[in-house]
Chains A and B, each alone.
Chain A
Amino acid sequence: MSASPALGTTKTAQPNQIPQDAGLTEYEAALVRELVGREPNALEWAMFGAMWSEHCGYKHSKKLLRTLPSRGPSVAVGPGENAGAVDLGGGLLCVFKVESHNHPSAIEPFQGAATGVGGILRDVFAMGARPTAVLNALFFGDPSDPAVRRTIAGVTGGISFYGNCVGIPDVAGHISFEPGYADNPLVNAMCVGFARSEDLRKASGARPGSAVYLVGSDTGRDGIAGASLLASFELGTGSDEKRPSVQVGNPFLEKLLLEATLELVEADAVEALQDLGAAGLTCATSEVAAKSGVGMRIDVSLVPRRAQLMTPYEVMLSESQERMLVVPRPGRERDVEQIFKRWELHGSRIGKVIDEPMLRIFDADEQVAELPPRSLADDAPEYDIAELAESYRSESDEGAGARSGTGDPTWSTEGPASTTAPSADAQRQTAKIGLELLDLLASPAVASRRAIYRTYDQMVGTDTVVGPGADAAVMRIKGRPDGIAIAIDAQPRIAAIDPFVGAAAAVAEATRNLVCMGATPLAITDCLNIGNPERPKGAWQLTRTVEGITAACNALGVPVVSGNVSLYNATYGADIWPTAVIGAVGRFADVTKHIAPTSGKPGDLVLLAGNAHVSLGASAYGASRGLHEGPVTIDLALEARLQRFVLATHARGAIRAAHDRDAGGLAIALAEIAIRDGIGMKVTLPAIRGIDKRVALFGEAPSGIVLVIEPSREGEVRALASEHDVPLWTLGTVGGDLLEVAPVLGMPVSALADAHAGGLGTALQRDA
């Protein structure tokens, strides 16, 4: 941590006198001097420090991110805007993005997570879209640690506090509890909204002569230099001193800002909108000016403040939340002001757009900064990490990516599945496996997330057809027959072993979850959470993560339309596991024809489609027994065929229920299907040579879906499977009160349901 600037509370009031204090390296400082053609003043250094921070400038990732596939027939807005968008037809766009708020949440969990939700909502309504759903992906350490439980309570409390108050339903999520996140939790939030295509607003519409307004919260001393000094360095000693760099959220103001912004858009009164997030006014003004190819003259003395005697540095670098930069259409300033007023918002004219491509910051009559907006917004250096990554790859990559067809051969407590008649010993084994299943169902990795999601409003807006707890959320669109499915996923246990496979598996899982609801995947948004990219391992993980996403997107035919990168997720020098969070959006032509999360009906057939070559190496079962090892693999071609097969089968109306085989393996997938309606099933395990019965029950691998179908459709489904070259096993039938997996397991569904429902509440020491 010695590399990071000392940042006491007293120091935040003053601009940093030297470029190093603004977070810039010698090389970057030299580059700045060259671009500006003189020695910048302290405020200008700070503005560069913020805009060229890793968080805003994407210095270590920009080159790689350009390689992500971002084109596709449904893409309306690709990466680079506040959020991406896909075209649903009929003039409607679905706008979405995922973003991280990791460092603030590590330091102040409640406000960090709350303002993470606020930020992602603003990204979506700044596009002129009404937010319809939020999702989140959370990564914590072991909940048996009281410090971790405090973090969890803070983060989930912050999400609940903010999202509920604004009135956006939380419809799906992902939560991991893994040792890699004990000191550096990850908090990623995703927002999905809808906009009519004519209402879409971009930051690039500002024209010379137009006025510039700042609306929303008054500017205070919170979150000063959060992006440059907090989000772009590792955590460690002194992190607590950065608490003043964490913003404080006001969801009520956000709600007013949301409604006012959408009213401005509907009245067609604005030409450009930009939310104020990281790097505050510095970022918003320079990005709008740079994207619009213009300049701006801003007077900081006109910015309403909530603290006295704020310096221009504080005003320009404050990350006070719930603010928006608004550029009205010429002649519409009055309308804009009236809308602000009606929503009881402070909206102040703080400057104007100018022809000259220069950002001129004034404090009343005195010019305090003069910088080309493009230099700030676009000219941050791009670091090529390929060589660094290669240096790590050459020593560690040997053997990684090799295919492993069977379960882990080095770890097995049992022999192959017994074929002899049940004996007393076999009965004991059955009881033991039953207890293992109950333990796994109740474990934090697998248990129902209801104890958490029921503190989030899931139904406000009355569009939630299927909320949290299913493979993906299903949302209807009022006035239209179609609808969307949304999922957010990650595969940290796999990525910790092989970031390429982990990232690809995350894309595969997120899209597979849409397919399990019957939706056709349209596009994804990604949040890359990685450690320190200046170390060989971090550089390699970032590179392999992007390569994994690219491979999966190409194989599955989904583009990336938006995203975010969070680097320096390391505490006391220890990196987190490389974590690609993937948010996926899919479409139903007819939302009433989604695959409902049911248990099926008694007599229905239970099938397993896809890959049955599971292993315990990166499984939840293995992790609970101290096992975490490779090799891990993914067959993306099989994944693509599996998804096409399930969608084709669903198109014929042959699927009664479906569920992704994820954490906990086949046994958990079957148990979760049974728990849905409390109906049991009687099945046998797929017979795969070399796979032990525990591996078959609890082993994990990508590309497996459990299907429930009417018996009369079996022939048709088998024909479709062979047409798509997808392996298919008939496991058994639905019915009864027990989950029976012959000959190893027989458990009352009610016992499974209790374990699943109560596990997380117990682990978090909450009521379930």
Chain B
Amino acid sequence: MTRVAILRYPGTWSERDFAHALSLIEGVETEIQWHEDADLRGFEAAIVPGGFSYGDYLRAGAIAKLSPGTKELRRFASEGGTILGSCNGFQILCEAGLLPGALIRNADLQYRSDWVRIRVENDRTRFTAGLGGEVLRMPIGNGEGCWVADPETHARVEAAGQIIFRYVDERGVATPAANPNGSLGNIAGVTNETGNVVGLMPHPERCVEALLGGADGYRMLANLVAARQGTASALYR
């Protein structure tokens, strides 16, 4: 059994969605953990789900990063544990310094709930193994999804292959029109230097069943149990 912990902060709302999504993957066992009682010992992976932790007051993720749960995430990450942050989880991981860059208000200042396409730029993480170069269709739902970084950091993470997902159009091209929130370089998801922490704004847990309009998220999450051999990383187009 692959044991996966799902963290729940006050205001988190995707924890039950992730638990349901992972329940459809054979060989995965999940546990929702309250942030104050987080204990990731004995778990293979941790999920930081979407929501509005602490109401996004101050800044999305800015208060959650001070929680005991985030402290435990830091320990877990430093020991090589696998962490996936989606939506508010991505924001928390960036605020906590576990991932590069920051997420600010969408360029049009409006919340955006929609389906987007993201291209897998790097298949060397556990979640993207075997998916290199593929274009996945996933829902987004966020008001602060615009990834930014200072020019040096941006150049560094690009050069180091830490860009994991980019917003693209139906032809797989990263155009401005395909970018739902104004992210630098159409960046939808990044990883840390060691590749064990992954964050993305889209919601893989919302697309694991064809009934709900798509199952590309299943391909990503199923990698938790079946990490296939990686393919060549997609070239930056």
Contacts and interface: CB of A to CB of B under 8 A. Distances in A.
Contacts of B203: 459
Given A455-B113, A462-B20, A252 B11 contact: yes
A591 B16 CA distance: 21
Given A255-B11, A462-B205, A465-B211, A167 B51 contact: yes
9 contacts: A164-B141, A165-B56, A252-B11, A252-B55, A252-B56, A255-B55, A455-B112, A456-B111, A456-B113
Given A343-B10, A465-B212, A767-B108, A459 B52 contact: no
B212 A459 contact: yes
Given A165-B11, A255-B11, A465-B212, A458 B55 contact: no
A164 B10 contact: no
Given A456-B113, A459-B113, A462-B205, A165 B55 contact: yes
Interface in B127-151: 139, 141, 143
Interface of A: 160, 164-167, 250-253, 255-256, 342-344, 453-462, 464-465, 476, 478, 591-592, 767
A342 B57 CA distance: 19
Given A455-B112, A456-B111, A342 B206 contact: no
Contacts of B205: 462
B172 to A, nearest CB: 20
Contacts of A767: 108
B141 A459 contact: yes
B110 interface: yes
Contacts of B139: 459
B113 A251 contact: no
Given A454-B112, A456-B111, A476 B13 contact: no
3 smallest CB-CB distances across A and B, nearest first, come from: A252-B55, A167-B13, A457-B141
Contacts of B141: 164, 457-460
Contacts of A455: 110-113
B13 to A, nearest CB: 3
Question: Interface majority SS on B: helix, strand, loop or mixed?
Answer: mixed
A251 B17 contact: no
Contacts of B20: 462, 478
Interface in B14-54: 14, 16-17, 20-21, 34, 50-52, 54
A252 B110 CA distance: 18
B114 interface: yes
Contacts of A255: 10-11, 13, 52, 55
B206 A459 contact: yes
Nearest to B57: A252
A251 B53 CA distance: 11
Contacts of A342: 34
Interface of B: 10-11, 13-14, 16-17, 20-21, 34, 50-52, 54-57, 108, 110-114, 139, 141, 143, 203, 205-206, 211-212
A462 B54 contact: no
Contacts of A344: 10
Contacts of A167: 13-14, 51-52
Given A164-B111, A465-B212, 12 more contacts: A164-B141, A167-B14, A167-B52, A252-B54, A253-B55, A255-B11, A256-B11, A343-B10, A456-B113, A459-B113, A462-B212, A592-B211
Nearest to A451: B110
B223 to A, nearest CB: 19
Contacts of B206: 459-460, 462
A590 to B, nearest CB: 11
Contacts of B212: 459, 462, 464-465, 476
A477 to B, nearest CB: 12
A250 B21 CA distance: 30
A457 B111 contact: yes
A357 to B, nearest CB: 39
A256 B16 CA distance: 15
Given A165-B52, A252-B11, A462 B17 contact: yes
A618 B17 CA distance: 44
Given A164-B143, A462-B212, A252 B52 contact: yes
Given A165-B55, A165-B56, A167-B52, A460 B11 contact: no
Nearest to B17: A462
Nearest to A474: B211
A740 B212 CA distance: 33
Nearest to B205: A462
Nearest to A452: B110
A164 B60 CA distance: 13
Nearest to B51: A167
A591 B55 CA distance: 34
B86 to A, nearest CB: 12
Contacts of A253: 55
Most central of B10, B54, B206 by chain A CB within 10 Å: B10
Contact of B113 (A166, A343, A454): A454
B107 to A, nearest CB: 10
Most central of A454, A456, A462, A476 by chain B CB within 10 Å: A462
Contact of A460 (B17, B57, B114): B17
Contacts of A462: 17, 20-21, 205-206, 212
